[in-house]
Each structure stands twice: as C-alpha cells, then as structure tokens.
Amino acid sequence: MKKITFIGTGYVGLVGGAGISEFGHSVTCADIDQNKIARLQEGEIPIYEPGLESLVKQNVAKGRLHFSDNVPESIQNADIIFIAVGTPQGSNGEANLSAIESVAKTIGENLNGYKIVCTKSTVPIGTGKRIEEIIRSINPNSDFDYVSNPEFLREGAAVKDFLHPDRVIIGTRTQKAIDVMGEVYRPLYINETPIISTSVETAEMIKYAANAFLSLKISYINEIANLCEAVGADVHEVARAMGLDGRISAKFLHPGPGYGGSCFPKDTHALAATGQKYSSPLYTVEAAIKTNASQKVRMVDKLQRLMDGSFKGKTVAVLGLAFKPQTDDVREAASRVIVSQLVDSGTTVHAYDPIAMDNFKIHFPDIQYFDSWQDAVKNAHACILLTEWNEFRGMDLNELKDLMKRPVILDTKNILSIHGLESSGFTYDNVGRKLHL
C-alpha cells in the first residue's frame, strides 16, 4: 500500500483520488479551496459525477480516503504526489500554468525524502522539465523522480473511465519510477490494461494529440453536417456508413452545436500555440478551433431563422446547459455562447438543466431558471435543445407543443424524431438532417 496525495481535488483529483484509494492505497485529496475540503470532510460531494458519491463514501468508510486543506503536510506525508490542478486557457491561447507552478513551489518547499512527483493535469510539452527545475531550484538536494501520467477520463463517465481505462501512460526517465507507478496501478495491470512507458515529453504529447484528434473528428462531422443541409443529404446516415469503416470508427461522429467542456477547447488552443511556438504549425487543429466557434454561432442563426428573423421581445427556452449529459460542468459549453447571444439580442431566456443550473447561474444570474422542462417551455416562442439528457429524448411532443406559445424547436443534438415533430406540427430544425420550415 502506497501513501498518495492528490493536489487539486476537482473532477480529476477527486475521481482519481477516490479511484486510487479503491485500488487499495491510502489517499489524501488536498486542495487550497477550504470550502470544498470542508464539504468533502462532511460527506458532501461538490461535483456531480455518476457513481462518485458511493466510491468516495466506501473508501472513506474503509479509512483509505482522506481530505485535507493542508497541502504542505499532505506532501510531507506522501510517497507519491499527484498534481491535478487546473490548467485553464491563458489569454494568448497557451495553457495558464500558474497553479502548476505554485504547486511545484510548494512541493519543493516540502519534499522530505524520496518521492514520486506525478502530473495528471494536462500540461504543455516541456512542463515536466519546468516542474523539475522549480522543485530543484528551491530544494537542490531533493530526491524525487518525475512522472507524467496524463488522465483520459471523460466527465459524465469519469469513475468508470478511471477504474477501467483504455490505457495508462507513464512518462518518466527511471525504472524505479516505472516500478512504483506499476504498483499504484497494479489492479489495472492484472486486468491487462495496456500500461505504456514513454519519455515525459512523449506522455505530455500523447494527451494533447489524442484530445486534438477527437476535436478534429467533431469539427469534421459538423462541417459535413452543414454541407448535408445544403445538398439535401442526411448526416446520420453518412456518419453511420463512415463509422462502419474500421479505419474511421463510429465514435465522435455525432454532429451538434460544437464541442465544449473543460478540455477540448483549451487543449486544442494550447496545442496550436505549442505548434506556433516551435514553428511547426498544426493547421488542422487551428481549423477545428475555427469550425467549432462558428458552429455555435450557426446555431443562433438557425434559431433566428426559425423565429422569422427576430428575437426581440420573444422568449426562448434553453433545454440543457451542461456541455454534455451526466455532468454539471458548464465550462466552455455551447450554451454559454448561445445564451449570451440571446441575452444580447434582447431575448427573454428560460433555462432548464437537470443538474447544471447552479453552475450556470454563476455566469448568467439574470436569466430565468425553472425546475422542469415543462415549466421552462411555458409560453416560449421557441425552444433550443443543447444537451442530450435522456429526459429530453423522452419528451412528449404534444405536451411540449401545448405548453409553448409557438411550436418551434431547434434540436442541436438530433435526438427528437423528425417524424414525431412533423406529426405534432412543429416548425423545427436540427443539424445536418432534413429541414422543414
């Protein structure tokens, strides 16, 4: 059993910490956010993630999972320190590494004996080297090995992804560190999960290369969807037939309002910035970023067309605020751009999301929030569906029509049946499929 500390107890730190305690290790999740730690110490889970509450509670009950706002002490007590703080987008597109640098400094000040320092946060290529330099500049005699262990979990399925990953990447220079990390992930090793050893730089690159590729796939299918609309093709049939080609695969070929979330937007920007820095531009990634931004705006234009060209004095119901289902995360969600444009154009916005409303309220305190989709759509001139929550898939379209002032809907996730919309008399649009105005 290893003594492990996670610094940063967010989506990755809390899921990762609980997951590694489930593997049998003693884990402390530390954070400078005292309120978050106090809530966790009282048994309250500060984020929504399916299966997380029971995973945390079980491991706390077994005495393997602890929470602390004393980061220095948590470093001193650990054999392995995972860094899982945020790396948001900076003003120039590059990742903002201020939290990483601050943690590296705290680690340098508190290293006492041999430890592994392991970064789980997504950090630009070369950051591992910088973290090592910061630690050694503060503590020249420090004895540690550095590991890059990027995380691939998806919000909404984070617990499952962490406990059953497709692969684990261990980027380090020493066999000793590979062996220790092998012990950390021992249950996965027994399950024959591929555990791949690389250099630190390669591990850092793998994470960005994977996220940017998935973003490319989404932007590509969105552009194909837009062209489908123009030429009268059906993007779902196109995507299905494309996906049956094993070289392409069916995943990430779902058209929509543009990707969001805390990873793809910032990671594509950071990779593009790295490419520019090294005079090795990533034109494809830069194009995916542009396509994604215009896709969000395109949704507002579509809605405006459905509403006879004007939002003024009208009410729009926004169904779904989270950037994807099964999460409360609204970072970079399409809803943020779309609601902002609606508000700017004088529209009254009625919003509903089963989980993410509290987080959305932080950014949009002045729009109107409702406790059910039925209440949100009441007397609306149009409805825009932005997140494919199951409860929206199951909406009774006749009930929806009766509640609205006008039966107008933009289904940006293509989850409603065209047949159902037509037979209920809706004026509707979607992304890349048959259009009836």
Ligand X SMILES: NC(=O)c1ccc[n+]([C@@H]2O[C@H](COP(=O)([O-])OP(=O)(O)OC[C@H]3O[C@@H](n4cnc5c(N)ncnc54)[C@H](O)[C@@H]3O)[C@@H](O)[C@H]2O)c1
Residues contributing to the site for ligand X (CB under 6 A): 7-13, 31-33, 36, 71, 84-87, 99, 102-103, 121-122, 151, 153, 155, 262-263
Least spacing, CB of residue 63 vs ligand X, in Å: 23
> Which residues of 135-258 form beta strands (DSSP E)?
144-148, 168-172, 195-198
Least spacing, CB of residue 311 vs ligand X, in Å: 33
Dihedral of alpha carbons 397, 398, 404, 409, sign: positive
DSSP three-state, residue 232? coil
Cα distance between residue 170 and residue 188, in whole Å = 13
Least spacing, CB of residue 267 vs ligand X, in Å: 7
Residue 399, φ and ψ in degrees, nearest 5? -60, -45
CA 164 to chain centre: 18
With CA atoms as reference, report the closest residue to 340 among 308, 386, 307: 386
Cα distance between residue 390 and residue 393, in whole Å = 5
Asked if 286 and 216 touch (Cβ cutoff 8 Å), the reply is no
Asked if 224 and 430 touch (Cβ cutoff 8 Å), the reply is no
Q: What is each CA distance from 264 to 52, 179, 300, in whole angstroms?
A: 23, 32, 21
Nearer to ligand X, 121 or 315 (CB): 121
Q: Which of 29, 118, 228, 263 is catalytic?
A: 263
Least spacing, CB of residue 331 vs ligand X, in Å: 8
Asked if 336 and 356 touch (Cβ cutoff 8 Å), the reply is no
Nearer to ligand X, 12 or 322 (CB): 12
Least spacing, CB of residue 111 vs ligand X, in Å: 16
Cα distance between residue 86 and residue 263, in whole Å = 10
263 is catalytic: yes
Nearer to ligand X, 165 or 320 (CB): 165
Nearer to ligand X, 71 or 306 (CB): 71
200-231 vs 283-306: helix axis angle to the nearest 10? 40
Least spacing, CB of residue 58 vs ligand X, in Å: 21
| Residue of closest CB approach to ligand X | 10
Asked if 104 and 134 touch (Cβ cutoff 8 Å), the reply is yes
Which residues sit opposite 233 in a β-bridge? none
Cα distance between residue 120 and residue 153, in whole Å = 11
Cα distance between residue 286 and residue 273, in whole Å = 9
Least spacing, CB of residue 430 vs ligand X, in Å: 27
Residue with tokens 């950014």: 363
| Furthest CA-CA distance within the chain | 74
Nearer to ligand X, 323 or 373 (CB): 323
Nearer to ligand X, 9 or 315 (CB): 9
Nearer to ligand X, 5 or 295 (CB): 5
* Active-site residue set: 263
